[in-house]
């Protein structure tokens, strides 16, 4: 049976998350580069891949100048599109308004959820009838994951495909990807990203095609990844949850650390 963390524990975990995963972030697999430039921590990449601002320590006097500095920095790169990942407790309180005024476009908000792995390892792992799990290790599996993402989210995700292929090839210990299969048809897909020495493993990309929702497939993929995290000695799982997945995760014992909004600079 899962347990929800108390408010004081959630605050401690949030401070740890900010220190390790934002201010002290490690780079993604492949040719990514994380650097701290004054009050900003950012990741840039060569080619396809995620790039953006991970953490900032700003106030009313410095925010606008730093926003302009990051736009200028990424404008000089091969791909100038980037994300400013804003959390609702970031400073200044009107940072989101300042980003919009500068031309950033907010995407739907997500809830930052965390759960201790110890509270998740008891989740049932018996697949729903007709479902088997397939561990993804190669390009064919990644392409099946992209097929699920297109059906579940209605979008193509070439950057995620490139990121996954690069991670599986160059740093396979940092990613665990899995498919739920109904016979030969992929119906759900998810991945977990793990950085050496980090206290948090991130659950990403969890999506199920509409006709298989509500049958326990999503929960199965969470349980599968929780067991991998437990085997690796990772204390916490972290999710940027959509409104669809948040209720499921909260029922499993995940607690809310905050709300995050991706502010996108479209680039050219």
- For the stretch 106-163, pLDDT in tens is 999 999 999 999 999 888 888 999 999 999 999 999 999 999 999 999 888 888 898 8
Q: 89 phi and psi, to 5 degrees? A: -100, 5
pLDDT at residue 244, as a whole number: 87
- At residue 268, does pLDDT exceed 70? no
For residue 31, the model assigns a pLDDT of 83
pLDDT in the model for residue 79:
87
DSSP string, 116-143: EGGGTTTS--PPPTTEEEEEE-SHHHHH
pLDDT of residue 85: 97
What does the mean pLDDT of the chain come to?
Answer: 94
- 3-class SS at 79? coil
Peptide bond into 92 cis (omega under 30): yes
Domains in the chain (CATH in brackets) are 7-110 (no CATH), 115-259 (3.40.630.30)
In this prediction, residue 1 carries a pLDDT of 43
* Residues 77/241, Cβ–Cβ less than 8 Å: no
What pLDDT sits at residue 157? Answer: 82
pLDDT given for residue 118 in this prediction? 94
pLDDT, position 3: 61
Instruction: Please report which confidence band the pLDDT of residue 229 belongs to, taking 50, 70 and 90 as the band edges.
Output: very high
Q: What is the pLDDT of residue 184?
A: 96
pLDDT band for position 94 (50/70/90)?
very high
pTM of the complete model: 0.91
CA 215, chain centre distance (Å): 24
pLDDT reported for residue 106: 98
CA-based nearest residue to 261, from 85, 79, 24, 89: 85
pLDDT digits (tens, 9 = 90+) for 4-63: 788 899 999 999 999 999 999 998 877 889 999 999 999 999 877 889 999 999 999 999
């Amino acid at each position: 049976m899962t347990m929800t963390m108390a408010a004081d524990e959630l605050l401690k975990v949030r401070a740890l998350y900010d220190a390790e995963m934002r201010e002290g972030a490690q780079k993604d697999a492949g040719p990514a580069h994380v650097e701290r430039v004054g009050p900003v921590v950012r990741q840039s990449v060569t080619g396809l891949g995620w790039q953006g601002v991970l953490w900032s320590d700003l106030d009313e006097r410095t925010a606008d100048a730093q926003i302009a500095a990051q736009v200028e920095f990424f404008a000089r790169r091969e791909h100038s599109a980037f994300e400013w990942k804003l959390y609702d407790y970031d400073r200044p309180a009107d940072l989101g308004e300042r980003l919009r005024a500068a031309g950033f476009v907010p995407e739907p908000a997500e809830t930052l959820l965390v759960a201790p792995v110890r509270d998740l390892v008891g989740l049932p792992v018996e697949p729903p009838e007709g479902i088997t799990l397939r561990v993804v290790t190669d390009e064919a599996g990644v392409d099946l994951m992209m097929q699920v993402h297109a059906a579940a989210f209605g979008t193509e995700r070439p950057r995620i495909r490139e990121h996954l292929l690069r991670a599986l090839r160059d740093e396979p210990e940092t990613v665990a990807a899995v498919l739920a299969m109904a016979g030969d048809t992929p119906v759900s897909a998810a991945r977990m990203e793990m950085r050496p020495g980090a206290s948090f493993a991130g659950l990403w990309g969890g999506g199920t095609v509409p006709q298989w929702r509500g049958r326990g497939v999503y929960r199965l993929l969470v349980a599968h990844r929780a067991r991998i995290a437990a085997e690796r000695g990772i204390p916490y799982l972290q999710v940027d949850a959509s409104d669809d997945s948040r209720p499921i995760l909260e029922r499993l014992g995940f607690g809310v650390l905050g709300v995050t909004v991706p502010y996108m600079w479209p680039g050219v």
